Amino acid sequence: MAEPKISLTLSCFSPPSRLICTQLPPGPAHLLHHFPRWALPSALAYLSFRIMKVYIYPTIDPPLWQLVALALFARPIAFLAEAYLAQVGHETAAAARGAVLPPRVQESLFPGVQGHCWAPDGFFKLGDVMDEWSKEHGNAVRVNLLGTSMLFTMEPEHVKAILLTQHTAFEKGSILTSQLGSLLGTGIFNSDGDLWSCSIVQCRALSFLADASATLISVVDSELTLARAQKRIAEGFPIDFQAITYLTNLPDLISHFALDVTIQFLTGHGSIEAGIPYTPSEAHRNPSSLRTHASTMFAHALEEALEKTNARVPLGAEWPLFEFWGDAVRSGHAVEEDDE
């Protein structure tokens, strides 16, 4: 009996404007793509004034600067109106379904302008902010980020439903997909609908062959990692379970272990043999080969890419405006691809 064949046809058509946008930096591409929506309030305000002048108040002749100011201020006013109407729409839809929305985080006049969301070093500390929100509002909160209403949750049952039991019911959506696209592309971790279904089928087909190999790699790497830890303890340096500095003690061991398992599974080459660095106070003990080792450079590039991707979250759909002339996440891809 002949084996069944699976035929998959992908239809991908992008309009000319979208194709042009993909060749531009994030900022200009975003402005070009959303120009009609942004320009519409200003155009309507200007045309309304001209019509009113011709048909209702023909004797009024305001200076040009007033017309320009009216057109410019129309967009911010429309922005606030859209955010308010969206909030009312969500509350109405929830009430119609008998649902209860999570509490809304208190915000400033302009939706999404949350000063406490940003750390002094410029990076967005999402975990710290969510911890602050959870203490005040609970494990699930509603936040308006630059006009985009988003839900954040740390509730275990919610996370279980999103990642496992009801995964297909929670789409990532276009905003999150665009924020993660520079780092994750359009594969299984950053796709919805038919594309996600196709990716998961391919991964399941490979998982049967990969389970045994991945398990063996994990066992071997865990033994090697523990041996490294025991050697460091024998030198008189205890493992600090409270350390939070990157590449320091326990977090460093965990990150190197996870990185090594992944690299060995994908490429067949290990990385933990390069060693683990000492604490900052003993940095002079680190050999020069450790700093220039491919695994160390890759880990730093990946860490930086994760931080920059995380910084896009509070910016909502408008994140390209803050990376106007270049994709900040893609800047580390050269290091990652070279190390591969």
pLDDT tens figures, 198-210: 766 666 655 544 5
pLDDT of residue 14: 38
pLDDT of residue 92: 93
Q: Is the pLDDT of residue 252 over 80?
A: no
Whether 111 and 87 map to the same domain: the answer is: no
- Quote the domain boundaries for residue 158: 102-166
Residue with tokens 């060995």: 264
237 confidence band (pLDDT: 50, 70, 90): confident
Q: What percent of the chain has pLDDT over 70?
A: 67
Mean pLDDT for all residues in the chain? 73
Show the CA angle centred on residue 156, arms to residues 150 and 157, nearest 5°. Answer: 85
Whether 56 and 123 map to the same domain: the answer is: no
pLDDT of residue 107: 61
Show the CA angle centred on residue 15, arms to residues 182 and 312, nearest 5°. Answer: 25
d(CA 203, CA 262): 15
Whether 129 and 139 map to the same domain: the answer is: yes
110 confidence band (pLDDT: 50, 70, 90): very low
Q: Is the pLDDT of residue 96 over 90?
A: yes
Q: What is the mean pLDDT of residues 292-312?
A: 80
pLDDT of residue 140: 92
Is 133 domain-assigned? Answer: yes
Boundary (domain end) residue, out of 45, 66, 100:
100
Residue pair 147/82 in contact (Cβ under 8 Å)? The answer is yes
Q: Which stretch of 8-22, 137-151, 316-330 has the lowest confidence by average pLDDT?
A: 8-22
SS3 156: helix
Residue, of 164 and 270, whose pLDDT is higher:
164
pLDDT of residue 187: 76
Whether 84 and 126 map to the same domain: the answer is: no
pLDDT of residue 17: 44
- Say how many domains are in the chain: 3
Is 282 domain-assigned? Answer: yes
